[in-house]
Copies of this chain bind each other. A is one copy, B any other.
Amino acid sequence: MANAANDPQATDTNSQTAVVIAGLKERFGERCSTSMALREQHGHTTTWLKNQPPDSVVFAETTEEVAEVVRLCAAHKVPVIPFGTGSSLEGHVNAPLGGVSLDLSRMNRIMEVNPDDLDCRVEAGVTRKQLNSYIRDTGLFFPIDPGADASIGGMAATRASGTNAVRYGTMKDAVLGLTVVTADGTIIRTGGRAKKSSAGYDLTRLYVGSEGTLGVITELTLRLHGQPEAVSGGVCPFPDVNSACNAVITTIQMGMPVARIELLDSVQVRACNTYSKLELAETPTLFLEFHGSEAGVREQSEMFSAIAEENGGGPFQWATVAEERSKLWAARHDAYWAGKTLNPDAQIMVTDVCVPISRLAECVTRTAEDIRAEGFLAPIVGHVGDGNFHVQILVDLSDAEAVRKTEAFVERLALRAIDMGGTCTGEHGVGQGKQKYLRREHGDALDVMRAIKQALDPDNIMNPGKILPQS
C-alpha cells in the first residue's frame, strides 16, 4: 500500500489502491502481482536514489489492456507508473505516492517494417538491440543507443540518445508517431508515417520526453536508417581537453557527417585500459566513427587527421580492421563498468549535462578541477559532438558525508551547465533527480509545463512526482 501515515487521506488512498489491486487481480490474474521482490525490482534500482516500490505490478500485453488498467486507476485516482526495462538513471520508475507499475516488457512485438519508407512500428517493450537484430537483414538500422539495452518506449519517454546522436539525432528525431493511452484511458495516435507534417500541434514531440507524466506510450512508429556502405574509425589523443574540443568544433563546422565523436578524459582512458585491455596513452582521447561510402569514410578520416594535427593532437590511429574497431567501441560502451574498477568497493553516482559546444571545454575543465578539489575518483566521458558529457563519481553510498558532498558536486555541475546556456540533463531525463533545477533552467516556461500537465492529467495519476517540482 502507499507509503501511508495514519491520516484519513492516506487511509482513503490505501483503500482506493486496494480496490484497484483487487480489480486488477480479478482481470489479469497472475499478471498482477504484489510480491515485495517484484515491487522493489520495479522501483528505482540503478543509482543512489532510494527505491520506492509501487503497490503492485501489472504486466500488460496489449494497448487495450494498458487502457483498461489506466481507466481503472483513473476511476480511483491511483497512480500509474509505466515500466520498460528499469534502466533509467533519475528515478523515473519510482512510486513515491504508491500506485501501479505498468510493466510493458511483454509488449515486445515488432509490428511492421517498411524498408521503402525506412520506418517501422513496434510495441513499447521492444528493446533497441532486439529491434536491430530483427531488422539487420533489411539493410536498415535504428541508431539510438543509450548505454543500456533499454525499451524503445522508455527511450522515447526520456528522450534518450547516445553515441550516434551527433549524426542521427535523438529520440525526438527518431519517433514519427506514437500510440498513447491518455490519463482517462483514451487510446490516441499522434503523428503518422509521413516524413513531415504541418497539421496541428506536435503531440508526438510533446509525449517524447514526458516521462510517462502525460500518458503511457504503447506503440511507436520509428524512423530507420540505411546501414552505411562503409564504416571506419579510430582513436586520437590530445594534450588537453581544450584542444580535443577545438578539433571537434572544427570537424562539425566543416559539415563533416561524423557518426560518432566521443571524448574520454585521462581518468576514463586509464579505466578503459585496465578493464578492456587497451594500451592507449592516458590523456584526453577522442573515439571517432565515420559512416559513408568507402571513399567517403577514407576522406573523412584523412580530413580529421589534419584537423587533429592543427589542434595539437594526434596521431589519429585509424582502425581499419572491423575487429579492432569493435574492440574500441566495446571499450567505450563498457566505460561505466571500467570506471567501477577504479575502486571496486565503491558505488557509482552518474549524472549528465549538456552545453553549447563552444563552452564544452570550459565546462569539462572546470568540472575536472572541481573533481580534483573534492578528491573524487570520477571519470568523464562525453558525446562531445553534442556538447553532452557524463560524470561517474565513485562513492561509498554508506558514507553519508561522502554522499552529501557528491550531491553538492552534482548540483554545482547542473547549475554550471545551465549558466553556460546549457541544460541540467542532455539525455538522462529529469525523473526525481533533476527536478530542483527546472525552475532555474526554464523560468516561467515551467508554469506552461505545469498547465499542460494539469490539462492532460488533472488528477495527477500519470507517474506523479516526476519532472515537475513540488513548488
Contacts and interface: CB of A to CB of B under 8 A. Distances in A.
A118 interface: yes
A227 B255 CA distance: 7
A343 B205 CA distance: 43
Given A226-B255, A253-B115, A455-B452, A197 B299 contact: no
Contact of A198 (B139, B187, B189, B425): B425
Nearest to A195: B386
Interface in A402-446: 417, 421-430, 434, 437-438, 441-446
Contacts of A200: 209, 430, 438, 441-442, 446, 449, 467-468
The residue in A117, A165, A199, A454 that gathers the most chain B C-beta atoms within 10 A of its C-beta is A199
Interface string A451-471: 111111000000000011000
A158 interface: yes
Interface stretch (A6-14, A323-331, A349-357): A349-357
Contacts of A442: 188-190, 199-200
A320 interface: no
A239 interface: no
Contacts of A291: 255
Contact of A438 (B199, B292, B423): B199
Nearest to A119: B356
Nearest to A417: B194
A160 B249 CA distance: 28
A164 to B, nearest CB: 12
A401 interface: no
A198 B452 contact: no
Contact of A201 (B293, B356, B452): B452
Contacts of A332: none
A388 interface: yes
B455 A451 contact: yes
A250 B434 CA distance: 44
Contact of A355 (B165, B194, B430): B194
A387 B139 CA distance: 21
Contacts of A210: 201
Interface string A173-189: 10000000010001111
A358 interface: yes
A198 B209 contact: yes
A430 to B, nearest CB: 6
A249 B448 CA distance: 41
B426 A194 contact: yes
The residue in A214, A388, A428 that gathers the most chain B C-beta atoms within 10 A of its C-beta is A388
Contacts of A434: 199
Contact of A196 (B118, B254, B255, B427): B427
Contact of A197 (B214, B426, B451): B426
Given A118-B252, A189-B443, A253-B118, A201 B209 contact: yes
A203 interface: yes
Contacts of A303: 293
A248 to B, nearest CB: 10
A194 B257 contact: no
A69 interface: no
A161 interface: yes
A127 B252 CA distance: 25
The residue in A114, A197, A206 that gathers the most chain B C-beta atoms within 10 A of its C-beta is A197
Interface string A205-246: 110111000100000000001111100000000000000000
A116 interface: yes
B356 A114 contact: yes
Contacts of A198: 158-160, 209, 423, 425-430
25 contacts: A116-B356, A117-B358, A161-B196, A170-B196, A172-B205, A186-B444, A188-B443, A188-B445, A192-B421, A192-B441, A195-B386, A195-B387, A196-B354, A198-B209, A198-B429, A199-B423, A199-B434, A199-B442, A201-B214, A202-B202, A205-B205, A206-B206, A257-B257, A295-B296, A296-B299
Interface of A: 114-119, 139, 158-161, 165, 169-170, 172-173, 182, 186-190, 192-203, 205-206, 208-210, 214, 225-229, 249, 252-255, 257, 291-293, 295-296, 299, 303, 354-358, 386-388, 417, 421-430, 434, 437-438, 441-449, 451-456, 467-468
Given A192-B423, A195-B354, A203-B448, 9 more contacts: A160-B198, A182-B448, A188-B443, A189-B443, A197-B426, A198-B428, A203-B445, A295-B296, A452-B452
